[in-house]
Homo-oligomer: A and B are copies of this chain.
Amino acid sequence: MGEEKLFVDFEKQNGLVPVITQDKTTKEVLMLAYMNKEAFDETLRTKQATYFSRSRNKLWVKGESSGHIQTVSDILIDCDNDTILLLVEQKGAACHKGYNSCFHTSVKTGDPVVIAEKVFDPEKVYK
């Protein structure tokens, strides 16, 4: 451990890099979040997706409230070393609004259209 951190360029964007999270089985893109170096190191160490919450300004283990954790099966970096792609096994669903994916709204016609069904009731999960 140690050397690998050089391959993610956390300095380019104020210490935070965008992280795309994809379901390893269905290949659905679940969400985009951010990691600082500490979140990256924790994710590597624990194999549980750990992000940096920009709104709460602290580390955030995905699923810590909902139980909807993400177990990491692979971690890829892009050719510029400034974006991460996580392949995960998603327990429950990724979106706090009750959908499998945070990307459940199409705007291709110019009007937003929800194209997915809720798979859980947020009011029951986030108490």
Partner-B contacts on A (CB < 8 A): 1, 3-4, 7-8, 18, 20, 22, 27-29, 31-32, 44, 72-80, 83, 85, 95-97, 99, 102-108, 110-112, 115
Within the complex, which residue of B7, B22, B74, B105 is in contact with A76, where a contact is CB–CB below 8 Å?
Answer: B105
Contact status B29-A110, CB under 8 Å: no
**In the complex the two chains form, what is the Cα distance from A107 to B75 in whole Å?**
6
> Contacts A20-B20, A20-B29, A29-B29 known; A97 to B110 CB distance under 8 Å?
no
**In the complex the two chains form, what is the Cα distance from A114 to B3 in whole Å?**
16
Copies in the complex: 2
* Chain B contacts for A8, CB-based, 8 A: 107
What is the minimal beta-carbon distance from A22 to any residue of chain B, in angstroms?
6
Q: Can you sample 15 A-B contacts with CB below 8 Å? A: A4-B112, A7-B107, A8-B107, A20-B20, A22-B29, A29-B85, A32-B83, A75-B108, A76-B103, A76-B106, A76-B115, A78-B102, A79-B104, A83-B102, A85-B103
* Chain B contacts for A7, CB-based, 8 A: 105, 107, 112
**In the complex the two chains form, what is the Cα distance from A111 to B6 in whole Å?**
10
Given contact pairs A18-B18, A83-B102, a sample of 11 additional A-B residue pairs in the complex whose CB atoms are under 8 Å apart: A1-B110, A4-B107, A4-B110, A4-B111, A8-B107, A76-B106, A76-B115, A78-B102, A79-B97, A80-B102, A85-B103
